[in-house]
Amino acid sequence: MKNLYWTSAILLFSCSQLFAHSTWLEKDNKKTYLYFGDFAKGKKEVKRKVLDKIKPNVEYKVLNDRLEILKVDQTEDIVTTVVMPPRKIRNSEKLIQTTFYSRLGRETTSKLLPLDLVSKKPNSNYFTLLYKDKPLQKTKVIVTAPSKWQKTFRTSKKGEVSIQTPYKGLYMIEVIHKEADKQYIYSLTFNVKNGLAWGYDPNCCKESK
């Protein structure tokens, strides 16, 4: 057991600055939206020429700072996939293709995406990280709290990870997986309704090993 300290982190990628961002899903007034930006910094892309490049594999329409997902299966967690065209790696002639996977909710206990965090039971803080049905071991899992503070965890040899969600509000979990000329950026967002108010000292909370 050790104290849980929320520490801020900056994600750096070797490819174009465009992909220092990620996609994530949020629900508002029963509508579902896909955002592109930096969740931890509270930044959402508003440039239409950038948003037009974000083409999820579902029916959608582009708004001022987001994409509205028009058809949603309400029986399970909501997922989207955005495959970007290959781009040059910074300071290199090599190309890399980025795929964004986004999931909203942790109620469904089955894999819905090729790269996915699967909750062991509905709304649990215990997950298994899977890529193509196989556990991803020793992989960084970055949790951003509603206050935008972050904590980095790492999966076990079985691909399992246990996180803490002490505060109420919207959380995002992010995973980056790279292989050769491809990289996959995954986000899981969910709301915690019963939690501590912001400003409560998180040092009281313990992280189980």
179-199 pLDDT, tens digit each: 989 999 999 999 999 878 766
* Identity of the amino acid at 176: I
Q: What angle do CA 181, 80, 33 make, to 5 degrees?
A: 125
Which parts of the chain sit beneath pLDDT 50? 1-19, 204, 206-209
Domain count, the chain: 1
| Domain membership of residue 175 as a residue range | 2-207
The candidate with the shortest Cα–Cα distance to 20, out of 34, 28, 10, 30, is 10
The candidate with the shortest Cα–Cα distance to 169, out of 153, 146, 189, 150, is 146
The candidate with the shortest Cα–Cα distance to 65, out of 13, 16, 8, 26, is 26
* Interval 150-178: pLDDT, tens: 999 999 999 999 999 999 999 999 999 99
* Identity of the amino acid at 115: L
pLDDT at position 201, please?
55
Which DSSP symbol is given to 85? P
